[in-house]
Structures are given as structure tokens and as C-alpha cells.
Amino acid sequence: DVKVTQSSRYLVKRTGEKVFLECVQDMDHENMFWYRQDPGLGLRLIYFSYDVKMKEKGDIPEGYSVSREKKERFSLILESASTNQTSMYLCASRSGRGGNEQFFGPGTRLTVL
């Protein structure tokens, strides 16, 4: 079974704090993605990566950065958390070798006070 794990299920941070969300996949997938999910808006792509040390902006990258130092790990960074970044964050991975399905992690519910 493909397994995508995220470092925290729930996280509470204060405005201005630097926040790290970690995602690890165990299927040797080339592609990894970070989404945020808000009620009524669906999933929106923040950043994605096709390979180690490679990153591409998604639809809503402002206020976020990412890091992919190893193939299995993709980190989302909030340099200075703001209340409008309170959301559910979902990580996903997909094989680059003709793979189609994205496999999602359980999500991290982040609250910024």
C-alpha cells in the first residue's frame, strides 16, 4: 500500500510564527504536491515538485515556500503564519512513471491564532 504521512494531524500556531509541515511518502514517487482545503473552495494547489530540489508554484503560492531535499520528503513552510492560513493542508504524491492517481496523506489541520 502507498503510504503518505504528515508530521502532525493538528497544529496550533501564533501569528508571525514560522511553521513547518512535513510530508513523507514511501513509494519512491517522483511527484509530490501540497494543497490547502477550505470549506466551499475545494482543494487548491500551493506548490508541487517533480524531482529532488525542484519546485513549481501552484495556484496559491503566496505566503508559502517548499523544500525537497530528499525524494521521499516534501516540506511546506509558512515563513510568517497569518490567520488567513488557518486551513486543512493535504500532501499528495504520484508516480512520475506514467502514474495517474495522486495518493493523499491524512492532512494537517492548522490553526493560526
Partner 1 sequence: KNQVEQSPQSLIILEGKNCTLQCNYTVSPFSNLRWYKQDTGRGPVSLTIMTFSENTKSNGRYTATLDADTKQSSLHITASQLSDSASYICVSRGSASAGNMLTFGGGTRLMVKP
Residues that bind partner 1 (CB under 8 A): 4, 9, 40-45, 90, 92, 100-102, 104-107, 109
Chain mean position to CA 53: 15
Q: What share of the chain is helix, strand, coil (3-state, %, to 5)?
A: 5, 50, 45
CA-to-CA distance for 41 and 10, rounded, in angstroms?
21
Q: How far is the CB of 59 from partner 1 (least distance, A)?
A: 9
Q: How far is the CB of 73 from partner 1 (least distance, A)?
A: 17
Q: How far is the CB of 71 from partner 1 (least distance, A)?
A: 20
Quick one: 42 or 69, whose CB is closer to partner 1?
Answer: 42
